[in-house]
Amino acid sequence: MDEAPEIRSLGEGKYSFLVGRQRYTLTTALEEECFVRIVSTIQELVSSFPPSLSQDERLFLALMSFSHELDDIKCKVDSIAEALKEDGSNN
């Protein structure tokens, strides 16, 4: 890749950033720190994929990875909530 993966703030919540082989520009209401953290995580994940994959394949695999992680977190939260509910009903 010729371009650095930096995230450029263009002002008023607008950013330009590279993911895989594509530069994207978008506007968001997210706080800059949160946006940079999210995009940096995506950049790191996508850069770990084989270079032979297309941009669409890279983005889809990133989506699948994040969906899997989110599902794991949901299951853990549900389990903790159920344990707290059971503990509360035993008191």
Residue 91, pLDDT score: 66
Q: How confident is the model at residue 1 (pLDDT cuts 50, 70, 90)?
A: very low
Model pTM? 0.79
Per-residue 3-state assignment (H helix, E strand, C coil) for the chain: CCCCCCEEEEECCEEEEEECCEEEEEECCCCHHHHHHHHHHHHHHHHCCCCCCCHHHHHHHHHHHHHHHHHHHHHHHHHHHHHHHHHHHCC
Q: How confident is the model at residue 4 (pLDDT cuts 50, 70, 90)?
A: low
28-71 pLDDT, tens per residue?
999 999 999 999 999 999 999 999 999 999 999 999 999 999 99
Structure-token pair, residue 43:
């950049």
Residue 88, pLDDT score: 80
